[in-house]
Amino acid sequence: MISDFIPNIPDTGQKRIVIAGGGFGGLKAARKLAYNNFQIVLLDKNNYHQFQPLFYQVATSGLEPAAIAFPLRKVFQKKTNVHFRMARIEEVHPEINEITTSIGKLHYDYLILATGVSTNYFGMQQVKENSIPMKSISEAIYLRNYILKNYEAALQQTVTSEIEAFMTICVVGGGPTGVELAGALAEMKRYILPKDYPELDFSLMKVYLFEASGKLLNGMSAQASSKAEKYLRRMGVNIFPGTAVKDYDGKTITLANGKKINSKTLVWAAGVTGKPIAGIPAELITRTNRILVDEVNLILGYPNIFAIGDICCMKTVNYPNGHPQVAQVAIQQARLVANNIIRIEKNKPKRPFHYINKGAMATIGRNLAVADLPGFRVHGFIAWILWLFVHLMSLVGIKNRFLIFINWVWNYITFDQSLRLLIKPKIKH
């Protein structure tokens, strides 16, 4: 039984800002506001910040999970005005400036919702039950274990069709996550897995990539999409643009065109949806569960509740359906909201949000990437180097950057990945 209010958060007389979510947006807002005269309470279901763009490298044994995670408490060790609690926000009570969480209630003066999004299965229950999402470190670890377990199981089969089903991996979704994962799997097939499983015939291993729209990397340029498809096909990935997955029972994938593919592994990276929060009126929620906000990221009709990042939808002339759900939007909105709260307290007018598009990029494999940057586009080796640099510098913590850099150098030189560990969680009965 939880207490009514979260204990051990003192009333200091400072204005209390509650931030729900420790992702890119929530962490940025907390770090900026922590240097001002506020009490900050940061909530997240995990006690760490996770670097989502590199989930696929954990899933394919390229990086340790700890290399792309950073303890949230460590970020604020020296800030006595910041309190972290491992909790989920469950309901907002705007009329009394209060929220209900999984560990108790909490009063706020300002509330920032940065809860992010979850996997969207578009109502397909069997797909949800049998496919593997990749929206968290734990899911990436699960996928790594699942792939390795299937290859161990393939060694025990004698029927060719069964061996092929265990070895074949299907990825649904042609965005950056799907493209990068498919490329990494193709490289594992070429360089890594045959050395670990010499008894298996790797001509039976197929990597499929399905995308319901007509092209890969839909948010990027036609050139980037074309190059990505060319690189992936050259690496042996079977690409099906304009092909939707309609069902999956754990053994057989059913496509919209009626074709069926046997595979024990389906990775779902095809879409996202917001996580509904009780207390936010239904008329402020879009079809994909994003919360409608005004030009300063205030939820429509509420003077002290902000929403930032993937969970919010700010309709503008350039973005009539809301801004793209990428890290840069969340970071820029967090910076603006933090500044606007400071301005409110100083009785200064709030400033509107203007998204500065810094470009988009995706890596396909060794020496291969595509990048759409302001004013120019690059692909191949130069884009790959840019991708490495940008992602390395975006990580939280110098130690994490160092560990990942060493891992990347080692993998590049040796054509190997040393983290193929099938670690099963112990369950007490």
C-alpha 22/C-alpha 25 separation (Å) is 7
For the chain, what is the total number of helices (H) and then of strands (E)? 12, 25
pLDDT at 1: 37
Helix-helix angle 160-167:137-154, to 10 degrees: 160
The reply to whether 283 belongs to the active site is: no
Question: HSE of 57 in the Cβ direction (CA atoms, 13 Å)?
Answer: 27
User: Is the distance from CB of 147 to CB of 419 less than 8 angstroms?
Assistant: no
pLDDT at 399: 85
In sequence order, the β-bridge partners of residue 265 are 169
C-alpha 181/C-alpha 85 separation (Å) is 33
C-alpha 219/C-alpha 213 separation (Å) is 11
* Direct distance between the N- and C-terminal alpha carbons of the chain, in angstroms, rounded to an integer: 24
The H-assigned helical ranges of 247-397 are 327-345, 381-394
User: What are the average pLDDT values for consecutive 10-residue runs of the chain, which has 429 residues?
Assistant: 77 96 97 97 96 94 91 95 97 97 97 96 95 94 95 96 97 96 96 94 97 93 96 97 96 95 97 92 95 98 97 96 95 98 97 96 96 94 96 89 90 79 71
pLDDT at 398: 86
pLDDT at 2: 46
Catalytic residue among 164, 180, 211, 229: 180
Question: HSE of 320 in the Cβ direction (CA atoms, 13 Å)?
Answer: 1
Tokens of 33: 């506001």
User: Is the distance from CB of 407 to CB of 401 less than 8 angstroms?
Assistant: no
- Total-model pTM: 0.92
pLDDT at 428: 66
C-alpha 112/C-alpha 338 separation (Å) is 9
